Chain A
């Protein structure tokens, strides 16, 4: 089971009411390489991977939910109290018509999240390589959003999230090394 903790993993700050940035940032909420996809991908792979890397998938999957909450916080603050006119001007008129200020699991182009974003091949190496690629793609997405954003407070949180992708990628690379090792052969009974 899981325990919720009533705090963010990182002190998120947002400098201005800016629905335009929220529109870009939603990519990391409900997009293919976003935090929801990441959390569900890793937690789902746990059931068919060797025991010695299940702990890592569990812990990274759990951390992704903390990141999802950070993205939600950013979107919430960027759009809180924005007028319908501001939403429309930011390209969020269609979103507003359907969801008002509610968050929705969609990408920056407005397509709803889909399970086809995540892979589960059942082959441990294939799945871990998928995870490494997912981390690198998420890192790249953060770079592109930072390039689009002129809000230094927001960028501070985005740089943190980009760095986390680097660490996760590192750990998945180590998981591959662990599964490559032939250590088990040397166990004496």
Chain B
């Protein structure tokens, strides 16, 4: 596979990166603030949003995770370029 990805790919990826970044920040925050109820609510909301976006991404561009965390297409499409450092 060596054709350039459409702009929509980069937009969706950026959206996932933004939502997942909020989750990283809230994770580290909650590690030291385990009783912040509002932050936990926000964390769960973003976790749900991240799942939704990744489902959409994987349907178009293939699996994000391995070991059964993502479904595979046929044939096995995990090896398909581009890898993250190539895009």
Contacts and interface: CB of A to CB of B under 8 A. Distances in A.
Contacts, number: 63
The number of chain A residues touching the other chain, given as a range, is 20 to 34
A6 B84 contact: yes
B14 A11 contact: yes
A73 B85 contact: yes
B31 A171 contact: yes
Nearest to B66: A4
Interface string B23-47: 0110111011000000000000000
B67 interface: yes
Contact of A60 (B28, B64, B66, B67): B28
The number of chain B residues touching the other chain, given as a range, is 20 to 34
B13 interface: yes
Main secondary structure of the interface of B (DSSP, over half): helix
Nearest to B70: A6
Nearest to B80: A6
Interface in A58-80: 59-60, 63, 69, 72-73, 76-77
Contacts of A5: 64-65
A4 B17 CA distance: 15
26 contacts: A3-B69, A4-B66, A6-B63, A6-B64, A6-B65, A7-B16, A8-B17, A8-B84, A8-B85, A10-B17, A11-B13, A11-B14, A11-B17, A56-B28, A56-B32, A59-B24, A59-B28, A59-B31, A69-B84, A73-B84, A73-B85, A167-B25, A171-B28, A171-B31, A174-B32, A178-B32
